[in-house]
Amino acid sequence: MNTAFLTDRGRVRSHNEDCVGIFTHHTGAVFAVIADGMGGHLAGEVASEMALSAFKKEWSETEEFTSPDEAESWLKHQSAQVNKRIFEHALTHPECKGMGTTFVGVICTNSFATIGHIGDSRCYLYNLDGFKQLTNDHSLVHELVRSGQISKEDAEHHPRKNILLRALGTEMEVQMDVKSICVEPSDRILLCSDGLSDKLNDPQLLAILKDRKSVNEIAEKLIEAANQNGGEDNISVAIIQLPPDPEEGDEAC
């Protein structure tokens, strides 16, 4: 698999509270993670770094996943452990009171991908069937859209757009949404923080993601586009490109 990840402070924030990483298992499976921290002065950085480090450590020590069910169980279990660790750290460190982090992660093999998320960091899929968002934001505005109280267009400029209903570390317990999908050769999976999704709509994301450039160039182009559109928030992206079908050459989907 070809992978790339980037994080950028953006044009307004004085520091970066996002953490992003892609980790390859000895079996060839890939685990991509984005955590977008929040909290008091620098506490968001603490929460996102704690989340990324904990997931990375457990990933390196786990056995091979032979089914989506195993991957889903692992993500649910690890999210509960990481949530508890961040929550307890905040209780014992007053400067970190109220800190938390979003989380979106995908475990990707050559046959399936398992996606877990908490908060408003997102996962998208681009393949021969088109482009679609695989996660639903755990946010107040998303619930207003889902219940029909506001339109999707209104949501883009809603004054309470950044209020989250779930995050890692802000409560004693939290529920992660987990799902698995089948993947095909040349599929592209995009993870991002809201610093990207708030600045680029679906057609804009698709136009960049479908480019036949390398995943590194695509990641750079996404960051650049978000900054050109204002860059008010930290921006993080992670891309996984499934290998092409050997019988069809090396063209991207």
* Helical (H) or strand (E) element with 33: strand 30-38
**CATH number of residue 36's parent domain:** 3.60.40.10
Chain-wide mean pLDDT for the chain? 92
- Dump pLDDT digits (tens) for 33-53: 999 999 866 799 999 999 999
User: Of all residues in the chain, what percent carry a pLDDT higher than 90?
Assistant: 81
The answer to whether residue 109 sits within a structural domain is: yes
Which two tokens mark 158? Answer: 């809603």
29: how many CB neighbours lie within 10 A of its CB?
21
Q: Does pLDDT of 252 surpass 70?
A: no
The answer to whether residue 108 sits within a structural domain is: yes
| Number of residues assigned to the chain | 253
Report if pTM > 0.85.
yes
- Dump pLDDT digits (tens) for 136-168: 999 888 788 778 888 777 777 776 777 899 999
Task: Name 96's Cβ contacts closer than 8 Å, sequence gap at least 6.
Answer: 39, 40, 43, 46, 47, 89, 90
Residue 77 pLDDT:
97
Which two tokens mark 161? Answer: 């757009």
Domain with 84, as residue range(s), is 2-248
Q: Assess contact for 116 and 135: CB atoms under 8 A.
A: no
- For the chain, the domain total comes to 1
Residue 146 pLDDT:
78
The answer to whether residue 74 sits within a structural domain is: yes
How many angstroms separate the CA atoms of 120 and 49, rounded? 17
The answer to whether residue 253 sits within a structural domain is: no
